Amino acid sequence: MARARAIRVLSWNVNGLRACARKGFRAWLRGARAEIVGLQEVRASPGDLPADLRSPKGWHTHFACAERRGYSGVGLFSRREPDRVETALGIERFDVEGRFQVARFGRLALVNAYFPKGSGKNRDNSRVPYKLDFYRAVFERLQCLRRGGYRVLILGDFNTAHREIDLARPVDNRKTSGFLPEERAELDRWMQAGWVDSFRRFEPGPGHYSWWSQRFGVRERNIGWRIDCVLASRAAAKFVRGAFICPEVRGSDHCPVGVDIDPAIFG
């Protein structure tokens, strides 16, 4: 019996969907061959978006928006209609920033999350406690989904490079939010609880990044960070056939990342 064609799931921090659309987002979406796409940092409410971004033909779309205009926000584009979509953690200080979605497709629970930066307005690390609290709140929600029998994928911008191999200049960034010991320790806790970094399951080598500073020449020299990921619960990991990063895709300071999954994950 022929093996069923894998289903592609993609994640992309677009750094403003309207801005990304001016740089080719529509063409990318048409050609991506994806079944599900999670976007982060949409920075717009559905009413702010033109119809072909708000609800492209052939896609079901769902958005979670921040109360503050032009800030944060996540969006989900899916070829198949989810059984249910939730857009809140039930904690007001997180929900007002529009950082979380969970969509159920049969036995798959797919979470799209935009984890906060730890740096504050003054380029300090004042938001690290908020960031870590958000991590813990999402972790508890995911554990509930796992206990409920769901196969769980969480994708998004985690805003943390887990290991030294995940950024080009680890020594220079030990005191920078995104690579602080306490941030990395939180991801250690996730891995110890059974979460699988899908990309590292297939690619152990260096030089693979998903975000680059917008300073001149940085991306061309590949001085980046791998902070965009797809994590899989143990139950979901056995359905992941491959994982990848798409550094050739422009339009944002991040690039898309994704996984190919066995369609049996839904059943």
Listed in order, strand segments (DSSP E) in the chain are: 7-13, 36-40, 60-64, 74-78, 84-86, 100-105, 108-114, 151-157, 196-197, 211-212, 224-225, 228-232, 240-245, 257-261
The one catalytic residue in 48, 52, 83, 157 is: 157
Contacts from 147-150 at CB under 8 Å and sequence distance 24+? 149/107, 150/104, 150/107, 150/108, 150/109, 150/233, 150/235
Q: Are 170 and 217 in contact (CB under 8 A)?
A: no
Q: Are 78 and 36 in contact (CB under 8 A)?
A: yes
CA distances 17 to 49, 165, 267, Å, are 8, 30, 32
Those residues with Cβ within 8 angstroms of residue 47's Cβ, 6 or more apart along the chain or in another chain: none
* Three-state secondary structure call for residue 77: strand
Known active-site residue 157: yes
Active site residues: 157
